[in-house]
Amino acid sequence: MKTNRAVRSPGGLSVRLDVRALTVVVVLLLTALTASVVLIGTGDFPIPAGDVLRTLVGEGNAGQEFIVTELRLPRVLVGLLVGASLGLGGALFQSISRNPLGSPDVLGLGQGATAGALTVIVLFSGTAGQVALGALAGGLVTGFAIYALAWKRGVHGYRLVLVGIGVSAIVTAVNGYLLTKSDIVDAARAVVWMTGSLDGRDWDQVWPLLALCAVLVPLVLANGRGLRMLEMGDDVSYALGVRVERVRLLLMLSAVLLTASATAAAGPVSFVALTAPQLARRLTRAPGPNLAASLCMGAALLVTADWVSQRAFGAEQLPVGVVTGVLGGVYLLWLLVTERRAGRI
């Protein structure tokens, strides 16, 4: 099947459309939205999908309205935004490091954000808002440290990954120390946070995340062309007129911000940033970073995983991070095997 089509306007302008990639984006978007509606309807007080939709447009009864708009909608929105940020951030990191494993999980960004959050939980017994701020700060500092340490006349992909592994080992040790310092109540709270959970998220988490995404997503998508050229190598893209280090710094900064704020909102939900871009690429079969598809994939994955975590374990709810962790771990091993066979890593 021919997947590319050129659209010409009468005035002589033409646009090349990748039909398959476009279809994938639309389908993933619909999947994410459908899963969201199902997720809103799920819980101790089930609501049929039709009622959910009616309530969302403002025509439901008072009881359903409270449950939907006050309790479940913010949680689902946080899930969508976190998934989208992680998917996009992961796609950026993987493209910049030119390595499917160069995702924020492996690089230690999640660990850095965890260190920030644990500091607030253990040393100051802070509120949820302060924990989120601590996580944001931890993630940003770690991202900056990795970039600075990997810098040596430019940032090279493998050096970035290996430096990230080193930094993540140090930060993991700090986290372990903080965990041993805490009393058992704080420790239990910290472990749940460290796994990543959407429990009890409300509108306070939605707005900052939405604002950040509203700024960063267009910025990143606008720079997608530069990123695509960067994948051909620094020299080639330099010759093609891309300002290599500037684009890379801008995109890495965006990726760190996206990942850190997503982590601040929901905790380090593991493996979404790693798997979403890979799955998106396999679906679109298109070269390049596949930014839009990864974004939609991340959102769909996270909301679906949250639904599984609420339904699969009966009364005892596990945080969503456990589901993504188990699924992601299996996927990662499979990825390693196939990539090895193909000789790509």
Partner 1 sequence: MLVESPPEQRAETAAAPPSRRAVRAVGLLASLVLLALVALASIAIGAKELSLEQVWHGLFEDSGTYGDVVVADRLSRTVLGVLAGAALGLAGSVLQALTRNPLADPGLLGINAGASAAVVTAITFFGVTSLSGYVWFAFFGAAAVGALVWFLGGSRGATPVRLALAGTAISAALFGYLQAIMILDDAALGRMRFWTVGSLASGSDSTIVQVLPFIVAGSLLALALARPLNAMAMGDDTAKALGANLNRTRALSMLAATVLCGAATAACGPIIFVGLMVPHVVRSFTGPDQRWILPYAAVLSPVLLLGADVIGRIVARPAELQVGIVTAILGGPVFILLVRRRRTAQL
Print the SS3 string covering the chain.
CCCEEEEECCCCCEEEEEHHHHHHHHHHHHHHHHHHHHHHHCCCCCCCHHHHHHHHCCCCCHHHHHHHHHHHHHHHHHHHHHHHHHHHHHHHHHHHHCCCCCCHHHHCHHHHHHHHHHHHHHHHCCCHHHHHHHHHHHHHHHHHHHHHHHECCCECHHHHHHHHHHHHHHHHHHHHHHHHHCCHHHHHHHHHHHHCCCCCCCHHHHHHHHHHHHHHHHHHHHCHHHHHHHCCCHHHHHHCCCCHHHHHHHHHHHHHHHHHHHHHHHCCCCCHHHHHHHHHHHHHCCCCCCHHHHHHHHHHHHHHHHHHHHHCCCCCCCCHHHHHHHHHHHHHHHHHHHHHHHCCC
Q: How far is the CB of 15 from partner 1 (least distance, A)?
A: 39
Task: Tell which residue, 6, 27, 2, has the closest CA to residue 296.
Answer: 27
Closest approach, Cβ 153 to partner 1, in A, equals 9
- Report if residue 200 touches partner 1, rule: CB under 8 A: no
Query: Distance between CA 129 and CA 147 in Å, rounded?
Result: 27
Determine phi and psi for 117, rounding to 5 degrees.
Answer: -65, -45
Angle, helices 203-222/244-266, rounded to nearest 10 degrees = 160
Residues from 260 through 279 that contact partner 1 (CB under 8 A): 270-271
Is 34 a binder of partner 1 (CB under 8 A)? no
Task: Closer to partner 1 by CB, 103 or 284: give it.
Answer: 103
Total number of residues that touch partner 1 (CB under 8 A):
50
CB of 272 to partner 1, least distance (A): 12
By CB under 8 A, tell whether 161 contacts partner 1.
Answer: yes
Residue selected from 295, 307, 319, 320 as contacting partner 1 according to rule CB under 8 A: 319
Binding of partner 1 at residue 149 (CB under 8 A)?
yes
Stretch in the footprint of partner 1 (CB under 8 A) among 119-127, 146-154, 277-285, 301-309: 146-154
Decide: is 308 part of the binding site for partner 1 (CB under 8 A). no
Of 164-172, 219-227, 235-243, 277-285, which segment contacts partner 1 by CB under 8 A? Answer: 164-172
Q: Which is nearer to partner 1, 85 or 175 (CB)?
A: 175
Position 121 contacts partner 1 (CB under 8 A): no
Stretch that binds partner 1, among 45-53, 192-200, 249-257, 300-308 (CB under 8 A): 192-200
- Mark the segment that binds partner 1 (CB under 8 A) among 6-14, 66-74, 221-229, 327-335: 327-335
Is 332 a binding residue for partner 1 by CB under 8 A? The answer is yes
Binds partner 1 by CB under 8 A, chosen from 165, 221, 244, 250: 165
Single residue of 17, 123, 191, 236 touching partner 1 by CB under 8 A: 191
What sign does the dihedral 13-288-245-256 (CA atoms) show? positive
Is there binding between residue 329 and partner 1 (CB under 8 A)?
Answer: yes
Task: From 50-58, 181-189, 209-217, 257-265, give the range in contact with partner 1 by CB under 8 A.
Answer: 181-189
Q: What is the C-alpha radius of gyration for the chain, rounded to an integer number of angstroms?
A: 21
CA torsion through residues 151, 153, 154, 160, sign: negative
* Residues 68-107 interacting with partner 1 (rule: CB under 8 A): 99, 101, 105-106
The yes or no reply on residue 337 touching partner 1 (CB under 8 A) is yes
Establish if 176 lies at the interface with partner 1 (CB under 8 A): yes
| Residue 89 contacts residue 274 (beta carbons within 8 Å) | no
Name the minimum Å distance from CB 163 to partner 1: 5
Task: Report the interface residues with partner 1, using CB under 8 A.
Answer: 99, 101, 105-106, 149-150, 152, 156, 158-159, 161-163, 165-167, 169-170, 172-174, 176-177, 179-180, 184, 187-188, 191-192, 194-195, 270-271, 316, 318-319, 321-322, 325-326, 328-330, 332-333, 336-337, 340, 345
